[in-house]
Amino acid sequence: MIETAFTPFQSLAGGVLIGLAAVLLMWTLGRVMGATGILAGLLAPASVYDFGWRAALLAGMVTGPVAYLAVTGEMPPIEVPVSTPMLLIGGFIVGVGVTFGSGCTSGHGVCGMARLSKRSIVATLSFMVTTAATVYVIRHVFGG
C-alpha cells in the first residue's frame, strides 16, 4: 500500500512559494503561471524574449532539488511507486486532459480560481473529482 506522508510545513512553504511566483509573474509580465502553457510556449516561442522568461521559469522549477541539496546537504528522497510504462501512460492521459481542459491545475487551480474565473473553477473541480475517484479506485478497487 502507498503511504501518504503528512508534511504540513513543507507543503505550506511550497504553496506560499507557488503563490508568490504566480503573483510575481502576473505583476511583472502580465502572464498566468500555468506550467503546461509555459512549457508549450517554450517549445514554440513567439520571440526570443518569450523564450527567455519561459526557460528561466522552467529552469527554476526543475532546480528545486539542487536548492534542497544546498540547504540540507542531501538530495531530497524521490519515490516513484509505479513502473515506467505507467508513468508514460499517466503522462499521456494528463497531456490529453490538459489539452481538452485548456490548462492544468497550476493555471486553473492557482491563477484562474484566484481571479474567480468560472471556467477555471469548473476545470479545477473536475480535476479534483477525477483525482479523488482515481485514488479511490486504485487503492480500494484494485488494491494498489
pLDDT at 1: 56
Question: Residue type at 30?
Answer: G
Q: Is 100 left (phi over 0), alpha (psi -120 to 50) or beta?
A: alpha
Q: Write out pLDDT tens, residues 57-68.
A: 899 888 988 998
32 vs 18: CA distance, rounded Å: 12
Q: Is 30 left (phi over 0), alpha (psi -120 to 50) or beta?
A: left
57 vs 32: CA distance, rounded Å: 12
Q: Write out pLDDT tens, residues 60-105.
A: 888 988 998 999 999 888 888 788 998 999 888 888 888 887 888 8
Whole-prediction pTM value?
Answer: 0.72
Residue 142: DSSP 8-state: S
Does pLDDT of 16 surpass 90?
Answer: yes
Instruction: Confirm if 34 and 117 have CB atoms less than 8 A apart.
Output: no
Confidence of residue 2 (pLDDT cuts 50, 70, 90): low
Instruction: Confirm if 64 and 83 have CB atoms less than 8 A apart.
Output: no
Share of the chain above pLDDT 70, in %: 97
Residue 53: DSSP 8-state: H
| Mean local confidence (pLDDT), 48-62 | 89
The DSSP element (H or E) to which 122 belongs, if any, is helix 118-136
